[in-house]
Chain A
Amino acid sequence: MATPVTAQPREQAGPVRRFADLLYRKPTLYLSLLLIPPLLWFGVIYLGSLLGLLWQSFYTFDDFSMTVTPTLTLDNLRALFQPANFDIILRTLSMAVAVSVASALLAFPIAFYMALHTSGRTKAFFYIAVMLPMWASYIVKAYAWTLLLAQGGVAQWFIDQLGLRFLLESLLAIPGVGGSTLSTSHLGRFLVFVYIWLPFMILPIQAALERLPRSLLQASADLGARPAQTLRLVILPLAIPGIAAGSIFTFCLTLGDFIVPLLVGPPGFFIGNMVYAQQGSIGNLPMAAAFTLVPIVLVALYLSVVKRLGAFDAL
C-alpha cells in the first residue's frame, strides 16, 4: 500500500526566490528583462546616432562661411556623383571587392584543413596562429608593412634573391595596380588589406565547415563522386554561408578603413579618408554624412545580391 502523497507545507520564500519563481512562470517577462538593456543601447546610442548623422547629410554647408545650416537639400548626395568624389567611391569599392575575393580564395584551403583534417592540439595551434595577429594593434601592423614593402625592404630583398625583380617591375608598371614602389602601389595596399582581414574570413568559413557532418562527405563518395565533385557539389555550397559572412567582414572593413590607405599605397582618398577630412579639417559634416551613406548602401546591395544567390538558404 503506497502512502498518499501530501503537499509539503510551502516554506516562506524570500523576495529573490519569489522573483525567480515569477520569472519561471512568465517566460516573456524574463526574455524582455534580458533584452531591454541591449535593445535600448542598440536602438538609442547606436542606431539613433547613426540616423542623426545620416539626417545631417541633407543639411546645407555654406562653402563661403564654412557653416552648417539645417536647411534640407539633396546637393550633398548629388555631389557624390561628381567625378572627383565618384572616383573615391570606385577606388574604395574595387579594393573592397578585390580584397574580399582574394581573402576568400586564400582562406578557404586553410579553413578546410582546419575544419576537416585537424583535431586537438593541431586545431588549437591553428586557431592561435589565425588569431594571434589580431592581438597586435592594427596600426602597428600597417606601419610594419610599410617597412616590409618599402624600397630596399624585406619584400624586395626576397624578390631580388629569387631573381624576380623583372616580374615585380612589370607588375608595378601596370596602371591601376602598380605604383613607383611596392609600398606606394595599389598592389601593396591590397596585400596589406588581405593580410589584416584574412582572419575575419578564415574563422566564419571554418565554422561553416565544422558544422558539416562527415557523413555527408562519405555519402557523396559512396554515391560515386570523386573528391573534386564532392568539393564542388557538397562542400562549397554548404560553405557559402561562411564565405558570405566572412566576405561581409572583409568587404565592410575595407570600405570603412582609412588607416591602411593613409599609410600604404599611392596618394588618393578612400571613403574613410574623405569622411575624416570632411568632418575633421573642413568641418563639412553634411558631406561627411553623405559619404557615410555610401558604404551602408553598398553593403545593403551586396547583402541582397548574396541573399538572392541563396547563400543563406542552408542556414
Chain B
Amino acid sequence: MSVAVQFTEVSRLYGQVRAVDQLTLDIRDGEFFSLLGPSGSGKTTCLRLIAGFEQPSSGSIRIQGVEAAGLPPYRRDVNTVFQDYALFPHMKVLDNVAYGLKVKGVAKAERLARAREALSLVALDGFAERRPSQLSGGQRQRVALARALVNRPRVLLLDEPLGALDLKLREQMQGELKKLQRQLGITFVFVTHDQGEALSMSDRVAVFNQGRLEQLDTPRNLYLQPATPFVAEFVGTSNVIRGELARQLCGSTQPFSIRPEHARLAGSEPASAEELQISGQLQDIQYLGAATRFELRLDNGQNFTVSQPNTHWSLDAPPVLPGQRVSARWPRAAMVPLREAP
C-alpha cells in the first residue's frame, strides 16, 4: 500500500514550546486517518504542516512521495476544510466552490459544471446562487467540503469540521463524510478532539499528547489495547491502577487499565482464580439509559468506575445504594498492562 503523507522526525517549535516533537508516522493512501488529542496536543499543527500553513522546524514531510517542506500551500496537492469553513463572503456559493478551478485557469463553462457537480455531491443542488451568509452552519460546512473536493485533491484535510454543529447534525455528517470518503477513495486526514468521532469514523487513529504521538492504531486496538495511561483515559474511560495498589493486586508496580464495562459489581460469592477483586465505598450511581455507572471510592482514595448494561426491562430498584461498601471484580484477561510515559 502506498503512502499518502509521510512524517519523518518532524518537529515544529514556537520559541521553546515544542508543538510537534520528533513525529514520525505514515498516512496510507485512501485511508480515513484521524489525529486525536486534547487542545494544544499538536494535532492541528500537524494538519497545518501538511497543508503548508506552517513549515517544520526540522524533519521531512513527504506528500505522495514529494518533499513538501518549503513548499507554499498553493503548490501542494491537498485541500483543507477549515474549522470556521472560511467561505468567501463576497462570492455566491457556486463561485466559492469554483474558486480553486478558477485560480488554476480552468475554463469558465467547465469549472461551473464541475462546481455544480460538487454541490450535488454534498446535496446542495438548489443553493448555487446563494451567499454564504444565507446558509445554515450545516450547509456552510457542505459548501466548504464541496469547495475542497472539486479540486480532486489526493489528500483532504479536515480541521475539526464538525465542531460547530449540533449533535444530531454532527452524527449525520459523520456518516456522510465516511460515505464520501469510501465513494471517492481520497485520503482523509481528520483532526478532532472528540474520541467518539475518531473511533466511529477512522480506519486508523493517531493519539497525540503534548506534541508527541502516544499511539497509532485501529480504533478497535486503540480501545482494547491502549499503550499508555494517557491513551487509556483519553480514548473512552478507563480505570488505571498504578503503584502500590497494582503491586497488591498482581505483584508488580506496572500500571494497568481496566475498562468500566469489563468490571462488574460482585455479590457475596467468593472470587474465582481467574478474577481480581477490589472494594470501596459506592459514591454515586449514574443512570445512563442503556447502562448504569457506579462510582467507587477505593481505600487509597482513587476512584474506580464500573459500568453495567441495563439488560433487564422491568422497573427494579438499583441493587445497591450510595454509601454502601461494595466490591468490583474483573477477569485477569481483561487487564491491559500499560507502559508509563517516558
* A interface residues, Cβ below 8 angstroms from B: 213, 215-216, 218-226, 229, 233-234, 237-238, 313-314
B188 nearest CB across to chain A (Å) = 15
Interface members, chain B 75-116 (any A CB < 8 Å):
78-80, 82-84, 86-90, 99-100, 102-104
With a cutoff of 8 Å between Cβ atoms, the chain A residues found around residue B100 in the complex are 223-224
Q: Give CA–CA (A225, B101) in the complex, Å.
A: 10
Give Cα A215 to B140, complex, Å: 15
Cβ of B213 < 8 Å from any Cβ of A?
no
Task: Collect the chain B residues with CB atoms within 8 Å of residue A238's CB.
Answer: 89-90
Most chain A beta carbons < 10 A, residue from B89, B102, B104: B89
**How far, in whole Å, are A223 and B102 apart by their CA atoms in the complex?**
10
List of B residues within 8 angstroms of A225 by Cβ = 74, 99, 103
A residues less than 8 Å from B74 (CB atoms): 221-226
- Is the Cβ of A216 less than 8 Å from the Cβ of B88? yes
Q: Which of B243-285 contact A (CB under 8 A)?
A: none
Q: Is the beta-carbon distance between B90 and A215 smaller than 8 angstroms?
A: no
Indicate if B287 sits at the interface (CB-CB under 8 A). Answer: no
Residue of B72, B73, B100, B151 with most chain A CB atoms under a 10 A cut-off: B73
Partner of A226, one of B51, B102, B103, B151: B103
Bound-state Cα–Cα, A229 to B105, Å: 11
| Nearest chain B residue, comparing its CB with the CB of A229 | B103
| Closest Cβ neighbor of B99 among chain A residues | A223
A-B CB pair tally, cutoff 8 Å: 65
Q: Are A223 and B90 in contact (CB under 8 A)?
A: no
Whole-angstrom distance from the CB of B80 to the nearest CB of chain A? 5
Identify the interface centre among A219, A221, A229, A238: most chain B CB within 10 Å of its CB: A219
| Residue in B closest to A218 when the chains form the complex, CB atoms | B53
For residue A238, give the distance in angstroms from its CB to the closest CB of chain B. Answer: 6
Chain B contacts of A314 at CB under 8 A?
Answer: 89-90
Q: Does B147 contact A (CB under 8 A)?
A: yes
Among the listed A219, A226, A237, A313, which residue makes an inter-chain contact with B86, where contact means beta carbons less than 8 Å apart?
A: A219
Give chain A residues whose Cβ lies under 8 Å from the Cβ of B79.
Answer: 222-223
Q: Closest CB of chain B to A276's CB: distance in Å?
A: 43
Please name 8 pairs of A and B residues whose Cβ atoms are closer than 8 Å in the assembled complex, sorted by A. A220-B99, A222-B73, A222-B74, A222-B148, A224-B74, A224-B104, A234-B88, A314-B89
Contact (A216, B151) CB under 8 Å given A223-B99, A223-B100, A223-B103: no
Q: Which residues of A contact B51 (CB under 8 A)?
A: 218, 222
What is the bound-complex CA distance between A222 and B74, given in angstroms? Answer: 5
Q: Are A224 and B88 in contact (CB under 8 A)?
A: no
Residues on A with beta carbons closer than 8 Å to the beta carbon of B90: 237-238, 313-314
